[in-house]
């Protein structure tokens, strides 16, 4: 396939390296050094997408990050799909597969386009809200259809096979942008000895100089760029990052950079290489040298393919050797854009006319055009464009001096390309990310960065200094300023010489008038990507939206993946004009991260799959795996859930585990329980303040259960704390609450009671904990220890140091099952050894391992609560029927005591935790089911509390449940009803939550 | 993302290592039992929400586990000072 728009020579492409790629299923050819966009233009591809709302044909407009239309779907395979890639920023490689994202069934023949044609007038701003508002219940259905029609790319349906990573960086000076200003800033800072990072989104450094015909330092601009880049690369204090977009500028000079490492090489990263890297940079000073984007003019049918930015046309000619058409009409408000007509002419193609909106353009560039015989139509504008899939001609007319109306007759010119320039808008995006509001500058007709609290400097076009000499000068100054602020010595850097071409004053014009009023003229597009037009903005203003932020949201201006890089300033200017305000009075919207879309892979880095969140294993994890455990996540812990035998269902396994434990002996890996070692002479006093019950008299060798409350009186954790020595305690917490409890203890110690001498150490991981429970547990333990573990020698709620299976152990006689239980703690390294010894000796007792689910059932049979399941931060101990765990007579007003005395906490009709027995014993209530007293009451029925725990109890041969019921503690024997989602109403009787052994005889043996 | 100086570690560290624990200088009443409901309610529930300077309690949760105070501008996110528990701020609104 011929590259009909490719020049024979010139540009920064390598014609000896042809590359083949596929676009919308067609094979095309480009060269090394091309972007996807330049290669498409070289091949004469006009159409790259359909517009979002009206489905109008769209072509390439820009040559950089600001491109609104050429948004591509890349990827040769399903797994490598990447949506929303700007063709102007994607380097070409051999085998690249790209497709346009909009258009159904395809871009060339688009049926949705009919909607745009027929319905255009019927789809004003707010169309979706106005049309699809009612009935509200249908919105979700509408939304699906609308989203499908909109379709901006799609995410892959398979795992991304590539590797990404992240790096944390620190530097003295972070330079954003490697055009003339950025290069000079980096050079100056680096020569002064600063640690510098310089990043640029393009594959090559140089910025505007890459497509410029200027000289710098007496040589071609690109040669100067190469020499500076070489010096920077050779400096070990400088990190040079091409293909790296500084996407976010966050508080305290924290910046995020998306570096594309292999996306210019192949569809998939070459073996072993990182596809993209996310740099997280903390910089002492930041130099923003982000340049400027050219502003298009807004005129009728300005979206027909072939309408482009003037600077972009020059870039395609000078950098890529591509002239994207044959006959050019240039419309401009300034001298600068004349260069595009000169470039076009010098490339041997026809310039039909330069249409200058100013009455009397003068200056060297204007003269240069006239010398080449190019027609300059002064005081005129392109008011309309002909053509549908490509420009075929333009309508030109003279306009009034202020540009507000058409004054002369309309003349038609033939053309296939329209280049327009309304001046340049500084790229203030990054400076906005930290909350700084841009300031309008009348002199340059644009917004420049506003005041900031960041350690930020700016240089070059971002300040509205659009000349190369100014950029070089300001870059040097920014580098020197950074050195001074860092306390480093000044660097010896000279500003290289440039040849400046004088430009005369530009005209402040944004919106080109039409012979018809805006509301009746053909569409004049402001934001291409979201199909926002000048008349749409006027309509929004007419409907009462005066704040530019509201206009933006109502019209969706700037809401595309391009964030309105091209259109926003024009949109504000149109709103300002309509509201009869100045642009600074109207103000501007600001930009937020990310500057350009970033792939999720880069954000995730290596933090995916097993590395996403660390998994914590106990010392016995290997054994659990070998014995077929099913696991449950508890915080980051993997805990055995149950141990099914071959062919067993979950319920069958649970029934077996429950019965075995109550009839003989079961074993639980309880290592995940939070354990906090508490020492110090005031440890006992401290416990008395943070627990609701008394600790003053707990003797060494004893254990006690405690409830921990918040200041509002509500339960937030519970556990057993044991007295190891007069000034030494071991606190246990729930598995998920360990870290929170430790922080809680530290908070009160450090901020409220620093005078108490007490120290907290997390020892959760230091110990392996196994609980043997059941009537045969003592016999089993006796086989492994010489210690006296008899009823008299080792009573309930005692603990003892002893040797178990040859290993030093702490054994606690506490019970969460209501059975005779021993909790054996050994150094974590010995955990598996002791566990296996227990099984060796336990075989004759049918020692049965059980997991968290059986633990839950066994404790529920006894009415023991689980903090976080049976509590939710809104229940105090009395609500739980656990007033026995509160000591109101302690001398110190413990945390939660005053809170419990609040009026609302002493109501008698609070929701209280009770047992629930379904009348049909075979029905297991769903946890979370809401109860009512009167199932015949009209909907909405007054709800009286929910079920918190509910199980099948094999030991009792029926279902059991616990739950909250309003005033439930006084309603024993009464009925409560649970209407379920399936329509059934389950009747239950309120009872004590202790279903088994209410006197506690089984554990006291 | 903030860069916070921990007065206990003596280093600037990333915000990820810290937790914000709300308004600083909320002293627990010495005799909670004698507080009226209003006094207790003020201690429990009422907090300032200023635009501008704010004194906050932070903890170096993934570091030294120590609590300390920060004076921060809630509009610009500038940290004006850090100081230890028991000390008073020097920068005040």
Q: How far apart are CA A613 and CA A610, in angstroms?
A: 7
Give me A293's structure tokens: 């984007």
CB A802 within 8 A of CB A787: yes
pLDDT tens digits, residue range A478-530?
Answer: 999 999 999 999 999 999 999 989 999 999 999 999 999 999 999 999 999 88
Q: Which residues of B touch A898 (CB under 8 A)?
A: 32-33, 35, 40
Q: With cut-offs at 50, 70 and 90, classify the pLDDT of residue A127.
A: low
Q: Is A898's CB within 8 Å of B33's CB? A: yes
Instruction: Identify the H or E element spanning A241.
Output: strand A238-241
pLDDT tens digits, residue range A780-789?
Answer: 999 999 999 9
What strand order describes the sheet that includes A411-414? A380-386, A393-398, A411-414
Structural domains of chain B ordered from first start:
3-84 (3.30.2270.10)
Q: Which residues of B touch A893 (CB under 8 A)?
A: 31-33
What strand order describes the sheet that includes A715-725? A703-709, A715-725, A728-733, A674-679, A759-762
pLDDT tens digits, residue range A979-999?
Answer: 999 999 999 999 999 999 999
Give me A755's structure tokens: 């005078």
pLDDT tens digits, residue range A193-205?
Answer: 999 999 999 999 9
Q: Which residues of B touch A711 (CB under 8 A)?
A: 28, 43-44
CB A361 within 8 A of CB A376: yes
pLDDT above 80 (res A107): no
Q: Is A898's CB within 8 Å of B61's CB? A: no
Q: Which residues of B touch A (CB under 8 A)?
A: 1-3, 14, 19, 21, 27-28, 31-33, 35, 37, 40, 43-44, 57, 59, 61, 65-67, 73, 75-79, 85-86
A851-865: average pLDDT:
98
Q: Which residues of B touch A254 (CB under 8 A)?
A: 1, 3
Q: With cut-offs at 50, 70 and 90, classify the pLDDT of residue A1.
A: very low
> How far off is chain B from A875, nearest CA to CA, in Å?
17
Structural domains of chain A ordered from first start:
1-158 (3.10.20.440), 163-292+426-486 (3.50.50.60), 296-422 (3.50.50.60), 517-598 (1.10.10.1100), 621-671+766-859 (3.30.1360.120), 674-765 (3.30.70.1400), 907-999 (2.40.30.110)
CB A118 within 8 A of CB A20: no
Q: How far apart are CA A197 and CA A277, in angstroms?
A: 15
By Cβ distance, the residue of B19, B44, B66 closest to A711 is B44
Backbone dihedral angles phi then psi of residue A138, each to the nearest 5 degrees: -85, -10
Q: Which residues of B touch A750 (CB under 8 A)?
A: 66-67, 85
Q: How far apart are CA A308 and CA A577, in angstroms?
A: 25
For chain B, state the CA radius of gyration: 14
Q: Is B67's CB within 8 Å of A747's CB? A: yes
Q: Is B37's CB within 8 Å of A902's CB? A: yes
pLDDT tens digits, residue range B60-90?
Answer: 999 999 999 999 999 999 999 999 999 999 9
Could you give the 3-state DSSP secondary structure of residue A750? helix
Q: Which residues of B touch A453 (CB under 8 A)?
A: 73, 76-78
Q: How far apart are CA A959 and CA A956, in angstroms?
A: 8
Give the Cβ contact number of residue A586 at 10 Å: 22
Phi-psi region at A204: left, alpha or beta (left = phi > 0; alpha = psi -120 to 50): beta
- Residue A111: exposed, middle, or buried by beta-carbon count in 10 A (0-12, 13-18, 19+)? exposed
For the ranges A402-416, A549-563, A571-585, the lowest mean pLDDT is seen at A549-563
pLDDT at position A559, please? 85
For the ranges A610-619, A748-757, A878-887, the lowest mean pLDDT is seen at A610-619
Q: Is B28's CB within 8 Å of A752's CB? A: yes
> How far off is chain B from A274, nearest CA to CA, in Å?
25
Count CB pairs under 8 A between chains A and B: 62
DSSP β-bridge partners for residue A329? A353, A418
> How far off is chain A from B75, nearest CA to CA, in Å?
9
Residue A677's alpha-carbon distances to A681, A723, A745, in angstroms, are 13, 10, 12
> In residues, how long is chain B?
93
By Cβ distance, the residue of B28, B44, B76 closest to A435 is B76
Q: Which residues of A touch B80 (CB under 8 A)?
A: none
pLDDT tens digits, residue range A273-288?
Answer: 999 999 999 999 999 9
pLDDT at position A176, please? 98
Give me A696's structure tokens: 């003053």
Q: With cut-offs at 50, 70 and 90, classify the pLDDT of residue A55.
A: confident
Q: How far apart are CA A446 and CA A291, in angstroms?
A: 13
> Which of A279, A897, A898 to mutate to test binding with chain B, by most B CBs within 10 Å of its CB?
A898
Q: Is A453's CB within 8 Å of B76's CB? A: yes
Instruction: Identify the H or E element spanning A143.
Output: helix A139-150
> Which of B14, B15, B28, B62 to mutate to test binding with chain A, by most A CBs within 10 Å of its CB?
B28
Q: How far apart are CA B21 and CA A619, in angstroms?
A: 35
Q: Tell me, yes or no, if A435 comes closer than 8 A to chain B by beta carbon.
A: yes
Strand ranges for A506-636 from DSSP E = 525-527, 532-533, 630-634
> Whole-angstrom distance between the N-terminal and C-terminal Cα of chain B?
24
DSSP state of B78: -
pLDDT tens digits, residue range A577-612?
Answer: 999 999 999 988 889 999 999 999 999 999 998 899
pLDDT above 60 (res A125): yes
The interaxial angle of helices A338-346 and A364-371, nearest 10 deg, is 30
């Amino acid at each position: 396939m011929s590259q009909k728009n490719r020049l024979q020579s010139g540009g920064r492409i390598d014609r000896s390296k042809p590359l083949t790629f596929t676009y919308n299923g067609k094979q095309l050819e480009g060269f090394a050094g091309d972007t996807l966009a330049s290669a498409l233009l070289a091949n004469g591809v006009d159409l790259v997408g359909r517009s979002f709302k009206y489905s109008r044909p769209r072509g390439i407009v820009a040559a950089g990050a600001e491109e609104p239309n050429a948004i591509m779907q890349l990827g040769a395979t399903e797994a490598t799909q990447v949506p929303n890639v700007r063709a102007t920023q994607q380097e070409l490689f051999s085998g690249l597969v790209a497709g346009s994202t909009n258009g159904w069934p395809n871009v060339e023949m688009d049926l949705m386009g009919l909607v745009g044609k027929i319905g255009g007038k019927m789809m004003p701003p707010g169309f979706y809200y106005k049309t699809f508002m009612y009935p509200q219940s249908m919105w979700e259905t509408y939304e699906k259809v609308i989203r499908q029609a909109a379709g901006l790319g799609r995410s892959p349906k398979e795992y991304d096979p590539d590797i990404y990573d992240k790096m944390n960086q620190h530097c003295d000076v972070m330079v954003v942008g490697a055009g003339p200003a950025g290069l000079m800033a980096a050079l100056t800072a680096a020569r002064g000895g600063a640690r510098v990072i310089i990043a640029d989104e393009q594959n090559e450094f140089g910025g505007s100089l890459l497509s410029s015909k200027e000289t710098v330092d007496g040589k071609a601009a690109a040669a100067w760029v190469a020499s500076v880049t070489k010096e920077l690369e050779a400096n070990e204090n400088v990190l040079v990052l091409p293909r790296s977009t500084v996407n976010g500028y966050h508080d305290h000079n924290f910046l995020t950079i998306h570096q594309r490492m292999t996306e210019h090489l192949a569809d998939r990263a070459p073996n072993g290489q990182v596809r993209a890297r996310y740099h997280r940079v903390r910089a002492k000073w930041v130099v923003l040298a982000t340049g400027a984007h050219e502003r298009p003019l807004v005129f009728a049918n300005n979206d027909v393919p072939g309408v482009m930015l003037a600077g972009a046309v020059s870039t395609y000619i000078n950098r890529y050797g591509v002239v994207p058409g044959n006959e050019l009409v240039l419309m401009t408000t300034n001298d600068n854009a004349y260069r595009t007509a000169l470039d076009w002419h010098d490339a041997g193609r026809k310039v039909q006319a330069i249409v200058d909106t100013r009455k009397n353009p003068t200056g060297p560039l204007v003269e240069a055009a006239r010398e080449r015989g190019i027609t300059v139509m002064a005081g005129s504008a392109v008011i309309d464009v002909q053509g549908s899939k490509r420009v075929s001609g333009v309508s030109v007319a003279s306009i009034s001096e202020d540009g507000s109306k058409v004054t002369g007759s309309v003349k038609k010119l033939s053309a296939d390309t329209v280049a327009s320039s309304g001046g340049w808008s500084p790229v203030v995006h990054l400076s906005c990310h930290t909350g700084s509001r841009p300031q309008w500058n009348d002199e340059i007709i644009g917004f420049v960065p506003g005041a900031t609290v960041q350690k930020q400097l700016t240089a070059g076009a971002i300040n509205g200094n659009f000349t190369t000499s100014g950029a070089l000068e300001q870059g040097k100054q920014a580098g020197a300023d950074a050195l001074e602020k860092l306390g480093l010595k000044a660097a010896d850097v000279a500003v290289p010489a440039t040849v400046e071409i004088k430009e005369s004053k530009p005209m402040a014009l944004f919106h080109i008038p039409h012979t018809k009023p805006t509301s009746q003229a053909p569409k004049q597009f402001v934001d291409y990507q979201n199909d926002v037009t000048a008349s749409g903005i006027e309509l929004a203003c007419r409907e009462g939206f005066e704040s530019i932020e509201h206009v933006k949201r109502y019209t969706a201006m700037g809401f595309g993946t391009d964030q309105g890089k091209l259109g926003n300033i024009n949109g504000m200017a149109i709103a300002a004009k309509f509201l009869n305000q100045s642009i600074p009075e109207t103000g501007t919207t600001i930009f937020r991260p990310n500057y350009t879309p970033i792939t999720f892979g880069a954000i995730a880095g290596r933090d995916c799959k097993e590395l996403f969140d660390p998994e914590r294993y106990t010392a016995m994890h290997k054994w659990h795996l070998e014995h077929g455990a099913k696991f449950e996540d508890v915080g980051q812990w993997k805990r055995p859930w149950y141990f099914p035998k071959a062919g067993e269902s979950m319920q069958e396994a649970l029934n077996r585990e429950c019965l075995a434990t109550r009839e003989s002996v079961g074993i639980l890996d309880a290592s995940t329980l939070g354990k906090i070692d508490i020492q110090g002479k005031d440890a006992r006093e401290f416990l008395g303040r943070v627990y609701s019950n008394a600790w003053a008299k707990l003797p060494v060798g004893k254990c006690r259960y405690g409830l921990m409350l918040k200041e509002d009186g509500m339960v937030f954790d519970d556990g057993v704390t044991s007295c190891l020595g007069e000034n030494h305690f071991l606190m246990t917490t729930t598995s998920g609450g360990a870290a929170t409890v430790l922080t809680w203890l530290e908070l009160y110690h450090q901020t409220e009671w620093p005078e108490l001498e007490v120290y907290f150490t997390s020892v959760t991981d230091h110990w392996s904990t196994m609980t043997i429970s059941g009537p045969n547990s003592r016999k089993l333990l006796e086989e492994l220890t010489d210690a006296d573990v008899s009823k008299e020698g080792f009573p309930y709620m005692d603990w003892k140091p002893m040797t178990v299976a040859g290993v030093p152990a702490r054994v606690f006689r506490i019970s969460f099952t209501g059975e005779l239980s021993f909790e054996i703690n050994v150094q974590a390294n010995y955990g598996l050894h002791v566990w296996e010894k227990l099984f060796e000796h336990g075989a004759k007792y049918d020692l049965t391992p059980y997991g968290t689910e059986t633990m839950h059932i066994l404790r529920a049979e006894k009415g023991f609560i689980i903090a976080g399941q049976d509590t939710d931060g809104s229940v105090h101990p009395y609500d739980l029927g656990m007033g026995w765990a509160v000591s109101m007579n302690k001398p110190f007003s413990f945390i939660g005591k005053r809170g419990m005395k609040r009026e609302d906490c002493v109501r008698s009709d609070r929701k209280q935790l009770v047992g629930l027995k379904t009348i049909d014993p075979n029905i297991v209530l769903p946890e979370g089911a809401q109860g009512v007293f009167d199932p015949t009451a009209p909907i909405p029925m007054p709800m009286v509390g929910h079920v918190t725990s509910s199980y099948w109890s094999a030991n009792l041969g029926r279902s059991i449940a616990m739950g909250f019921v309003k005033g439930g503690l006084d309603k024993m024997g009464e009925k409560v009803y649970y209407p379920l989602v399936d329509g059934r109403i389950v009747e239950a009787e309120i009872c004590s939550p202790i279903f088994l052994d209410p006197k506690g005889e089984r554990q006291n043996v | 993302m903030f860069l916070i100086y921990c007065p206990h570690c003596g280093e600037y560290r990333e915000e990820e290592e810290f937790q914000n624990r709300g308004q600083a200088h909320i002293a627990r009443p010495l005799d909670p039992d004698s507080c009226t409901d209003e006094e207790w309610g003020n201690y429990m529930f009422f907090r300032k929400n200023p635009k501008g300077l704010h004194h906050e309690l932070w903890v170096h949760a993934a570091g030294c586990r120590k609590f300390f105070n920060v004076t921060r501008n809630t509009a610009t996110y500038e940290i004006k000072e850090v100081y230890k528990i028991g000390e008073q701020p020097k920068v005040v609104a």
